[in-house]
Structure 1
């Protein structure tokens, strides 16, 4: 799968690409810049893609949609979130989302406290190099980062 970014070399040069989950990601603010209080990333999600359902032991995530539409599921409740809207997944909540738009959707994700997103997503890319890994491999990575992977990504409902 090719990158979902437009032809902006400054973005693609610094992006983390994870084709197995249709994700291109850019880290804008590392936790070192906020004394560990927050991290800011931007995601570009291909239509029909999103992460497996998971829960963070330490972090709250605030999702602000910049472009497109997503279907989120937080603690079993589903909600469509579109450009200009924000949704929060508090620490410990189960959550996942899927891009329900016909084109790439984008969002900013504020993670608090800060989280080494560059390292985590690089490792996730490596374990997903051949597609979604077996649950044991994903659980091993998650344990290292205090993230519990609980099941598959959301699918676009027909």
Structure 2
């Protein structure tokens, strides 16, 4: 496959990956700030769908296209910028895996509370703050990865 096509796929999938993460975080955060249980239930349901549809698929496409571009461009795998990118990507993935589980739990707890017409229990809020806390290092990791991909500091 042509380098430009692979690079386009890599950039496009990174846009979906990062954009879904930012969008999900934004809507989930503000639905929770509203404390409207029905809104939280609806938003959390769609956040889980978006994560599986966009984040999971692009999380696979990113390293595949990235390593293929490295191969096509002839960059050494031991390049410091590339090694740091991989470390940060693994860190972001390590944050994302529990986030997926937390989002599904948040969705289920919110749906149950909306159906019952009750407030969200304390467990929901513990999960939510853990979810938010895991998003911070993942966000920072992706911002640094973007810089490393553009600058490729030697």
Scaled by the length of structure 2, what TM-score is found? 0.26
Higher helix share: 2
Higher strand share: 1
* Structure of higher CA gyration radius: 2
Scaled by the length of structure 1, what TM-score is found? 0.26
